[in-house]
Amino acid sequence: MKLKDMTYEEIELLSYTDLTYLLLKENKQPMNTPTIFRKICDLLKYDEEYYVEAIGDYYTSLTIDKRFVLLENNEWDIRDHHSIAITLDEEDDDDDFISDDDEDEEEVIAETTEEFDDSLEDEDEIDEDEDEIGLEGLTVLPEDELED
């Protein structure tokens, strides 16, 4: 349905984003935020004070609504009017995605693994030292059995 065929009451029931969609669809070309919101305020018979007060919230609602796309020239249009060109390069190999960062990460992993292995060897030495001290027969007592 076109806006010009709608009654004021019908227009009043629509959200700002629905009105924006209809305006952009009828206009068939992108429009900037102030122009669109000015037309909406005119349709709803809102004054200048309301326009100034509400345009920020209106802009936010446009950014959230996935039906619209903000173009490079700061104009809004219906997303369906625009397509995104995706080109695939058939010659790309997975090897191209290996970066110096990946090699650095591998070095860090290797160093960390060596440090972990060294710490395990240190633990084995500590266990051997405990055996030499004669701690092998000791048991841990519950707290209530401990003497003060």
Confirm whether 92 is domain-assigned.
no
Contact (Cβ atoms closer than 8 angstroms) between residue 111 and residue 69: no
Alpha carbons 93 and 97: distance in angstroms, whole number = 8
Residues 23 and 74 in one domain: yes
Confirm whether 105 is domain-assigned.
yes
Residues 101 and 77 in one domain: no
Predicted local distance difference test score (pLDDT) of residue 122: 64
Confirm whether 130 is domain-assigned.
yes
Residues 61 and 106 in one domain: no
Confirm whether 143 is domain-assigned.
no
Alpha carbons 46 and 43: distance in angstroms, whole number = 8
Range of the domain at 55: 3-81
Residues 20 and 57 in one domain: yes
Least confident span in 4-18, 43-57, 102-116: 102-116
The residue type found at 39 is K
The number of domains in the chain is 2
Residues 102 and 56 in one domain: no
Predicted local distance difference test score (pLDDT) of residue 75: 92
Q: What is the pLDDT of residues 63-97, one digit of tens each?
A: 999 999 999 899 999 888 777 777 777 765 555 55
Residues 61 and 128 in one domain: no
Confirm whether 55 is domain-assigned.
yes
Q: What is the pLDDT of residues 121-141, one digit of tens each?
A: 766 565 555 556 666 677 777
Alpha carbons 111 and 106: distance in angstroms, whole number = 9
Residues 65 and 115 in one domain: no
Predicted TM-score (pTM) of this structure: 0.55
CATH number of domain containing 47: 1.10.10.1250
Alpha carbons 117 and 103: distance in angstroms, whole number = 21
Q: What is the pLDDT of residues 13-56, one digit of tens each?
A: 999 999 999 999 998 999 999 999 999 999 999 999 999 999 99
Give the Å distances, CA to CA, from 34 to 69, 75, 82, 99.
16, 10, 22, 46
Residues 104 and 50 in one domain: no
DSSP string covering 101-131, please? HHHHHHHHHHHHHHHHHHHHHHHHHHHHHHH
Contact (Cβ atoms closer than 8 angstroms) between residue 21 and residue 61: no
Residues 12 and 77 in one domain: yes
Residues 52 and 16 in one domain: yes
Alpha carbons 101 and 93: distance in angstroms, whole number = 18
Predicted local distance difference test score (pLDDT) of residue 80: 84
